[in-house]
Structure 1
């Protein structure tokens, strides 16, 4: 790999890193013939990234040339987005408060050199901000208010803004960054790199370790070098060709940020940001199914103005759902008028809209996996022991979840499969898990899930390795299509 450190004026820089070329911005822009070939990484240290400045064009043209710039244009735009900065300030709130708690001042500046700070006590915060805004040289400004510390601004810094006393540390940080353990080289015969985002601590996991290994093995057979990554690898996303999210998604956590960033980087992404947004919101799903005349349990979108009508219109028992409920969490069953009133008020305190649905008791829910707008697998998810849902979050061990049975697609009633595919296709062409109930000969869609569970000996029980191969094949075809190539 050829690594280029691009600066506005090389004469002003004392930075000398073995194996890294110091290149003037004008040379990189004006002499493209000197910077050809595969595997070039560009580290843009220009003094400004403002629109149409040298620094902006370095990152823009690096992307056009197939070089991988740090920062890329997406990061440059993110650094200007105040609402996004506020969002990340909130997301990193605990770390910010903990890192700055000892300070007596009301304002604080944190300089970040290749993900590190001169004071070791701030390294975790510096690394977290570098992961969110991957740029070599950053400075974050914090202010202390009534609710604690808040990040007011974060931006790039140029060479003349680096204190003389920091230059030795900058050399050390840069040297350490470039000497860090590189990602493993692609497996022999691998054409593309696939990142699988997972949480090793998640319980229950979206995919267990044996399933994750099966994905990696299937990818290798198709020329995809699949690698497990965690939320700490955000800054490495640009090194991959595709992202497969295998931990529970939420618009409120890092999974959505990964999906959004990877999409902006041009990676093939499952689950894509639009699918996460659509599937996460039960209000959206309710309106979508209704508009397309797909049968669901009787459903009512509830707000403060119509809350008193829920009992009359829905009856009891009644199921209430937070808009972003998942894994049976944020879902309650009200059996009495008092319970109904209490739960509606509780849920509306945190959301302008919630969902009320009629209760349809069944022994199991159908789960139909859909990929590329076609059925992939079929399961019966049985209710947890002595419970009305698949998951019982008040129990542990065997009582936590119900049993699961996997069937061949052809052994599932056609109306169940057809309804599932129709519902999933309203969301997109990614990987979805559609939950349905069959009552009195009628099929009802309960919800469409992005990021469906795929675990060893459950979803793969019937078709085995073929399940993993089909998903990896979908990634391969999407990458080839994005790159304008056809398979030989």
Structure 2
């Protein structure tokens, strides 16, 4: 990968870094040779990023040329937005308080150079700020009020803004950054596509095991895509990939959603995309969607403080209660009688203004149909956990207790089931979904749809085996090629 540093004036760059090309922003914009480069990363150290300035256009044209710009246009805009700064800094609140607890004044400025600060005690905070606001050199201002530290603002700085006493350290930090593996590897002899697979090695209920993730990586390689595992700490490296595949349980108020948002903003192919995460993670949205499109589902009521007494009369007992962002049997409970109902509803309404009440349908199993790119790719029967009404019993000691799973060829599953799953998926998008459906006699009822469904060795891949992973990588390859306007 070609590494390019753009500056307003060549005198602004006073560091000796091997393997990088330093040019002016004007050169990058006007010299035709740079528009022809196929694989480049552009570190934009312009003096000015204002709208329609040279610095702004460097990052904008880098995106058009399919180069990876640091900072990207989205990062530049994020730094200007007080609302974005407030939201993202909330994620770092505990780290901010811990890092700055010994500061005696009510103001503090932190200079971050490729994720590092001169003082090691601020390295954790510096690294996270660099992850959130990826720009070579940044300066963050903090204020102390009401017994707490707050991130007031953050903005990129140029090499010329680096104090003289910092320059030796900055040169060392910059060298270490560019010597990292991602920048030292030669240009690949494959089609040159990179995929990041986001996972959490410590997650106990991950949608795919590490063994399964290796199957995805192997399948990707067969399609000319170099895939590798990343974690939440690799946020700053996201722009160096062509695709992001999230294999960690997602939520809106979570780093997985932030990864999806940034990947989309950077022009990556992303599964699951942020819109799918928003829609699938909220059962209130799903209830309204099913109603609008007249899809069969158990009798459902959106419960709020003003109608809380109506649900028992309409649904009868037992009643299934769901918090809006429930997933895979968690956040779902059953009220057997009015006393249980009142207690559980009161608890749920403390966390959300709207919750879901649903008629209970007793079945031995739930269908789960996996849908990707609008097409069903697997069909499973998830049987209820022993002596329990859900497929996972989270009340068991030592973690959840699962029921057995039976996987069928998609063509052997009831076609009404497959059509229902594909129809609902298309109403959400074209990402990867798991549609949960109950069957009573010959009728099917949608229970919910989840983004980022389970795909694991010996279960969801029991029929197609390695063909399942290859089939999915075909979709990724087609989308990457389309995003780069390459005709295969």
TM-score w.r.t. structure 1 length? 0.96
Deviations 1:117-142 (A, max 9, x none): 11111111111111111100111111
Q: 1:98: Cα distance to partner?
A: 1.6
Residue equivalent to 2:30: 30
User: What is the SS of the residue equivalent to 2:428?
Assistant: coil
Deviations 1:287-334 (A, max 9, x none): 001111111110000111111212222211111111111121111111
Determine if contact 1:59/1:69 at 8 Å carries over to the other structure. Answer: yes
Q: Report the Cα distance in structure 1 between the residues aligned to 2:35 and 2:420, rounded to whole angstroms.
A: 53
Deviations 1:57-96 (A, max 9, x none): 1211222233322111111111112111111111111211
User: What is the SS of the residue equivalent to 1:94?
Assistant: helix
Determine if contact 1:334/1:343 at 8 Å carries over to the other structure. Answer: yes
Determine if contact 1:375/1:421 at 8 Å carries over to the other structure. Answer: yes
Determine if contact 2:13/2:160 at 8 Å carries over to the other structure. Answer: no
Residue equivalent to 2:390: 389
Residue equivalent to 1:249: 250
Residue segments in structure 2 that go unaligned for 5+ positions in a row: none
Residue equivalent to 1:110: 110
Determine if contact 1:318/1:356 at 8 Å carries over to the other structure. Answer: yes
Residue equivalent to 1:424: 425
User: What is the SS of the residue equivalent to 1:102?
Assistant: coil
Residue equivalent to 1:303: 304
Q: Report the Cα distance in structure 1 between the residues aligned to 2:354 and 2:317, rounded to whole angstroms.
A: 20
Q: Report the Cα distance in structure 2 between the residues aligned to 1:378 and 1:185, rounded to whole angstroms.
A: 42
Q: Report the Cα distance in structure 1 between the residues aligned to 2:192 and 2:3, rounded to whole angstroms.
A: 21
Q: Is 349-358 or 162-171 further displaced after alignment?
A: 162-171
Determine if contact 1:187/1:220 at 8 Å carries over to the other structure. Answer: no
Determine if contact 2:137/2:159 at 8 Å carries over to the other structure. Answer: no
Residue equivalent to 1:148: 148
Determine if contact 1:250/1:276 at 8 Å carries over to the other structure. Answer: yes
Q: Report the Cα distance in structure 2 between the residues aligned to 1:248 and 1:218, rounded to whole angstroms.
A: 22
Residue equivalent to 1:207: 208
- Seen in structure 2, the aligned counterparts of structure 1 residues 109 and 422 have a Cα distance that, compared at 3 Å, is same
Q: 1:358: Cα distance to partner?
A: 0.8
User: What is the SS of the residue equivalent to 1:79?
Assistant: helix
Residue equivalent to 1:130: 130
Q: Is 327-336 or 390-399 further displaced after alignment?
A: 390-399
Q: Report the Cα distance in structure 1 between the residues aligned to 2:248 and 2:226, rounded to whole angstroms.
A: 19
Equivalences for 1:51-450 in 2 at 5 Å? 51-146=51-146, 148-182=148-182, 188-396=189-397, 400-450=401-451
Q: Report the Cα distance in structure 2 between the residues aligned to 1:366 and 1:256, rounded to whole angstroms.
A: 27
Deviations 1:4-45 (A, max 9, x none): 221112224322212222222333333333674333221111
Q: Report the Cα distance in structure 2 between the residues aligned to 1:389 and 1:186, rounded to whole angstroms.
A: 50
Determine if contact 2:59/2:71 at 8 Å carries over to the other structure. Answer: yes
- Seen in structure 2, the aligned counterparts of structure 1 residues 484 and 41 have a Cα distance that, compared at 3 Å, is closer
User: What is the SS of the residue equivalent to 1:155?
Assistant: strand
Q: Report the Cα distance in structure 2 between the residues aligned to 1:369 and 1:385, rounded to whole angstroms.
A: 24
RMSD of equivalent CA atoms: 1.7
- Seen in structure 2, the aligned counterparts of structure 1 residues 77 and 296 have a Cα distance that, compared at 3 Å, is same
Residue segments in structure 1 that go unaligned for 5+ positions in a row: none
Determine if contact 1:314/1:358 at 8 Å carries over to the other structure. Answer: yes
Q: Is 387-396 or 350-359 further displaced after alignment?
A: 387-396
Q: 1:215: Cα distance to partner?
A: 0.8
Determine if contact 1:190/1:220 at 8 Å carries over to the other structure. Answer: no
Between Structure 1 and Structure 2, how many residues are aligned? 487
Residue equivalent to 1:485: 486
Determine if contact 1:385/1:399 at 8 Å carries over to the other structure. Answer: no
Q: Report the Cα distance in structure 1 between the residues aligned to 2:239 and 2:399, rounded to whole angstroms.
A: 41
Residue equivalent to 2:469: 468
Determine if contact 1:186/1:225 at 8 Å carries over to the other structure. Answer: no
TM-score w.r.t. structure 2 length? 0.96
Equivalences for 1:33-44 in 2 at 5 Å? 33=33, 36-44=36-44
